[in-house]
């Protein structure tokens, strides 16, 4: 069984977290991993219904997603979370709690996010119908040392996803694709990786 890990996408609303996360999930599935994608909006509907957007409620939602990621990772699944998760302290708490944790900062200027506005959140704020939008009238604290930074206003989603996969390979969570193309079965590939790891090569 593969060792599980968590890939955590953080960034402003409409930065492109879910789009890139889906591409990364698809690539990992194709490489034989068991993968679960936890989208912040979906989790709000199913696990966090009734929570608002105060700091306390946002943290509660993020910690619930993190708890599920921890369980999945512990059981050999790659957990991919895509959630604004605006507070640095909370993300660092997840990192410490989950262990195998890769933070992906989805960087995109607020102006570009506002123009995309897929969910109408920025427009609703401008019209005074909502408040507490991260990066505008509520804080968004950028990661200080994320494992990966993708810039979705400059890269295609495919380029951003490739950067994440490359980082996972470099960090040793995912074998380079070339190994699979050499004719190894999944079991042989894992044994080879384990042996290389024991020898300190990866």
Q: Where are the beta strands (DSSP E) in 15-132?
A: 35-39, 78-82, 101-107
Residues 6+ apart with CB under 8 A from 138: 53, 86, 131, 132
Long-range contacts, 183-191 (Cβ 8 Å, 24+): 186/32, 190/2
Which residue has 């604004």 as its token pair?
A: 84
Annotated active-site residue 197? The verdict is no
Q: What is the C-alpha separation between 96 and 185, in angstroms, rounded?
A: 34
Q: What would the two tokens of residue 27 be?
A: 């690539």
Catalytic residue among 48, 73, 85, 160: 85
Active-site residue list: 85
């Amino acid at each position: 069984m593969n060792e599980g890990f968590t890939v955590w996408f953080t960034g402003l609303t409409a930065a492109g977290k879910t789009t890139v996360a889906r591409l990364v999930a698809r690539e990992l599935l194709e490489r034989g991993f068991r993968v679960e994608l936890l989208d912040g909006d979906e989790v709000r509907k199913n696990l966090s219904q009734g929570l608002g957007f105060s700091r306390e409620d946002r943290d509660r939602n993020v910690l619930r997603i993190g708890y599920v990621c921890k369980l999945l990772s512990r059981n050999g699944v790659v957990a991919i979370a895509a959630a604004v998760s605006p507070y640095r302290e909370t993300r660092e708490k997840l990192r410490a709690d989950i262990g195998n944790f890769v933070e992906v900062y989805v960087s995109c200027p607020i102006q570009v996010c506002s123009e995309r506005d897929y969910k109408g959140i920025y427009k609703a704020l401008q019209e005074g119908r909502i408040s507490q939008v991260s990066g505008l009238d509520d804080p968004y604290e950028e990661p200080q040392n994320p494992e990966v930074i993708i810039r979705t206003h400059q890269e295609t989603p495919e380029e951003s996803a490739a950067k994440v996969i490359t980082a996972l390979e470099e960090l040793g969570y995912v074998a380079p694709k070339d190994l699979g193309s050499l004719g190894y079965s999944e079991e042989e590939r894992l044994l080879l990786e384990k042996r290389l790891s024991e020898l300190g090569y990866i």
